Amino acid sequence: MSILDALNPAQRRAAEAAGGPLLILAGAGSGKTRVLTHRIAFLIKEVGVPPWRILAATFTNKAAGEMRERIEQLVGSAATELWIGTFHSICARILRRQAEGFGLDPNFSIYDEDDRRATIRRVLNAHQIDERELAPRAVVSQISRAKNAMLDPLEFAHQANEHQRQIAELYADYERELRRNQALDFDDLLIEVVRQFERHPDILQTYQERFEHLLVDEYQDTNRPQYLLCRQLAAHHRNICVVGDDDQSIYQFRGADIRNILDFERDYPDAHLVRLEQNYRSTGRILAAANAVISHNQGRKGKELWTNGPEGDPVAVVECDSDRREARHVVDAIRRYDRLGRYGLGDAAVLYRTNAQSRPFEEELQRARLPYVIVGGIRFYDRREIRDVLSYLRLLVNPADDIALRRIVNTPRRGIGDTSLDRLQAFAQAKGWSLSTALEHLDDVPNLSGRAQKSFAAFAALISELMAAIETLSLPELGFAVVEKSGYRAMLAAENTPEAEARLQNLDQLLAEMTEYADANPDSTLATYLEEKSLLTSADENDNNGNAITLMTLHSAKGLEFPLVFVCGLEENLFPTARAIGDPQAIEEERRLCYVGMTRAQEQLSLTYALRRYAYGSLLTTEPSRFLSEVPAELTAQNYELDRGFARSRQRVAPPPRKKAPAPQGVHYEWDAEQSPGFDEFVDQDDFLAVGQWVRHPQWGRGQIVSREGQGEKMKLSIRFGTRTKRIAVAYAQLEPA
């Protein structure tokens, strides 16, 4: 009995393929890890390759550990002799083993991101460059891009434009600082091995001869240094086996180059190609929909996923009035599935394009008291930039809030160090004052430098200006003023990194949320807003006990699977992003990201979009994503979650025409409301919102309508909650019959 007997025909062809270059195109859910581990076991047990002559490179320690465990189950203790690890760990191992020959100290330090930024700060200080003018994170990002392009400081300087010349100087000094500290950063681990192999062909030959077989997982995610390293190591035996999926290449922003996998057969003209197309994860309709979407890409090898499993339910395409209604629909659907016993909460995943989109989903889940976890991120109101802005607002309401002041007094950086702040704190404590009061007596603070006094005074003036604006500015206007006048937006804009852009999007989401809150609660104040946010974020933490709903970006979802998946925010300028529109290659990467999201679903897939979405403090009209129109109508069921202040419509009305991307024309199924989430019974507007009717508000509880004005989206109600009467905009109030 062969160890390959459990594989399907295509998997077996890949596992037992003869030596030489081998490209395994492994579609989503096709069992690529199974094939890779069985191929290694086959080489050891049936071909007779010594395990120490096999090198397997992965991208995560988790993947490396899982691979080793599976191989050990197949071949026993021989698995311990394999070289299996991430590219970075393998390179670090080579560098330490060959340190003397490479002219390195074998005890070199490896600098992570925090270490890199700290080093750059020292370099900036030496150049007398203010971090407010040039953020360390931005410098690190540009240096990393140069390194991934295999450019040393001199080469980078030769091709630098006017704006990059300063970076080139900093790059050179950064490298000198690393050498002084006998340190390598993460990029260096890869680059140094490639360069040292070029300089020392005798050492390269040793590794070429040693590793008879090289196997690479997730080859579509390799960058240029990783590509060059693979070429170097495989040059002698040419037994290179790469496993990957060009349709799942979604990490270009990290330096991944899809051409590495697309051009494999050009690099190795005698390469053998095996496609793994049988899917063991998703239903037939989900696969057909995903196949249809990705088929619109030009830059791909081409494959068609299929399954022996059931066809399954249609893909749900859900149109919602707003992003808030979208979040409510998703939460209601999950809750209904759970109540009916079809799926548990832990079976559900909510996927979105950017971290900033998590906010309405988090709030709806918290209101529904449903447990959830965020993968690859932190809760919206716990994110640093959100807490910073809320701390500014807290200080405006309560100047005695020293915790808030300490958080923001040097954010953005104002040249206020810990020593100066500690001296101010000691002075305040001696007087029995708050820090804000102490700021009014800076001349009396002992040992405070003139520079620190000036910085503290500027901060105090900023807070005074913002406090004075409370009486004249609306809540969203005040939030906007904090973000702008504090310099927070300018700080992030100057960084010009993907992380800074994501943080800016989070700030825009916060301002949008303030606008929603102010519209829904016209009588609210800054104090009541902060109180609600405090209650919202100080609730009991949701334990990840295996029965929690998963929220994550589409990038974070790669490699995972869930019975119930919602891909949300499928709108032009959001998914695909505005930056991608007009760039065919970028659109193809966005489409690959959509494909990744769709193929996470095992049994139920919902694609949702909003007709209106809050962004930049305004309610904007959106266009459905082009990806929706690429899903064949016969594979979908259309659902309209139209928010007329209260109602969830069962009507099957054709969506209004769109200029940029037509709304998908799905098959309209008359589903049972108790079996298919999202199709609640129609409620008549006049009966529900008539004066005298009782309603329930998620924050204020049960109340009676005492007056009504306006119609449709502009309708506003006055509702008496106990002894208080609130004037509420119906479109955002989430009212329900009491």
- How many CB atoms are closer than 10 A to CB 501? 16
What value does the mean pLDDT take over residues 624-635? 95
Q: Is the pLDDT of residue 277 over 80?
A: yes
* Residue 311: its H or E element: none
Q: Is the pLDDT of residue 436 over 70?
A: yes
What value does the mean pLDDT take over residues 107-128? 83
- Non-local CB neighbours of 263 within 8 Å, separated by 6+ positions: none
- Non-local CB neighbours of 27 within 8 Å, separated by 6+ positions: 245, 247, 275, 276, 277, 279, 303, 305
What are the CA-CA distances from residue 128 to residues 123, 125, 141, 153, 294 (Å)? 9, 5, 20, 20, 50
Residue 732 binned pLDDT confidence (cut-offs 50, 70, 90): low
Q: Taking CA 724 as the corner, what is the angle to CA 705 and CA 712, rounded to the nearest 5 degrees?
A: 35
Catalytic residue among 12, 32, 300, 353: 32
pTM above 0.95, yes or no: no
Q: Is the pLDDT of residue 646 over 70?
A: no
Indicate the domain borders of the chain.
Answer: 9-99+191-278, 111-178, 287-371+542-641, 382-533, 685-737
Catalytic residue among 423, 600, 613, 648: 600
Say if residues 56 and 215 touch (Cβ distance below 8 Å).
Answer: yes
DSSP letters spanning 232-276 = HHHTTT--EEEEE-GGG---GGGT--THHHHTHHHHSTT-EEEEE
Q: Which CATH superfamily is domain 287-371+542-641 in?
A: P-loop containing nucleotide triphosphate hydrolases (3.40.50.300)
Q: Is the pLDDT of residue 413 over 50?
A: yes
What does residue 734 show for φ and ψ, rounded to 5 degrees? Answer: 55, 45
Catalytic residue among 13, 16, 33, 145: 33
Burial of 557 from C-beta contacts in 10 A (0-12 / 13-18 / 19+): buried
Among 277, 246, 292, 306, CA closest to 27:
277
* Locus of tokens 């080859």: 219
Clarify whether 590 is annotated catalytic.
no
Fold of 9-99+191-278: Rossmann fold (3.40.50)
Fold of 382-533: PCRA; domain 4 (1.10.486)
Q: Is the pLDDT of residue 698 over 80?
A: no
Query: What pLDDT was estimated at residue 178?
Result: 85
Q: Is the pLDDT of residue 693 over 80?
A: no
pLDDT digits (tens, 9 = 90+) for 343-384: 999 999 999 999 889 999 999 999 999 999 988 656 778 888
Please tell me which residue, 163 or 437, carries the higher pLDDT value.
Answer: 437
Query: What pLDDT was estimated at residue 716?
Result: 79
Please tell me which residue, 671 or 664, carries the higher pLDDT value.
Answer: 664
Query: What pLDDT was estimated at residue 259?
Result: 96
Clarify whether 485 is annotated catalytic.
no
Q: Do you know the residue count of the chain?
A: 738
pLDDT digits (tens, 9 = 90+) for 119-130: 898 899 889 998
Clarify whether 600 is annotated catalytic.
yes
Catalytic residue among 175, 185, 188, 218: 218
Q: Is the pLDDT of residue 587 over 80?
A: yes
Residue type, 21: P
- How many CB atoms are closer than 10 A to CB 231? 14
Clarify whether 217 is annotated catalytic.
yes
Q: Is the pLDDT of residue 650 over 50?
A: no
Pick the CATH number of 111-178 from 3.30.70, 1.10.260, 1.10.3470, 1.10.10: 1.10.10
Q: Is the pLDDT of residue 673 over 90?
A: no
- Least confident window among 109-113, 532-536, 662-666: 662-666
The mean pLDDT value of the chain amounts to 86
Q: Is the pLDDT of residue 651 over 50?
A: no
Clarify whether 558 is annotated catalytic.
no
Clarify whether 332 is annotated catalytic.
no
- How many CB atoms are closer than 10 A to CB 707? 12
Query: What pLDDT was estimated at residue 211?
Result: 97
In this structure, the strands spanning 601-615 and 315-322 are parallel
Q: Is the pLDDT of residue 684 over 60?
A: no
* Locus of tokens 């693979």: 230
Rounded to 10 deg, the angle between the 488-495 and 498-520 helix axes is 150
- Least confident window among 211-220, 389-398, 597-606: 389-398
Same fold, 111-178 and 287-371+542-641: no
Q: Is the pLDDT of residue 731 over 70?
A: no
DSSP letters spanning 606-629 = EEEEEEEEEETTEEEE--B-HHHH
User: For residues 267 and 255, what is the distance between their CA atoms, to the nearest angstrom?
Assistant: 20
Pick the CATH number of 685-737 from 2.60.40.1190, 1.10.10.10, 2.40.10.170, 3.30.1330.30: 2.40.10.170
Say if residues 42 and 16 touch (Cβ distance below 8 Å).
Answer: yes
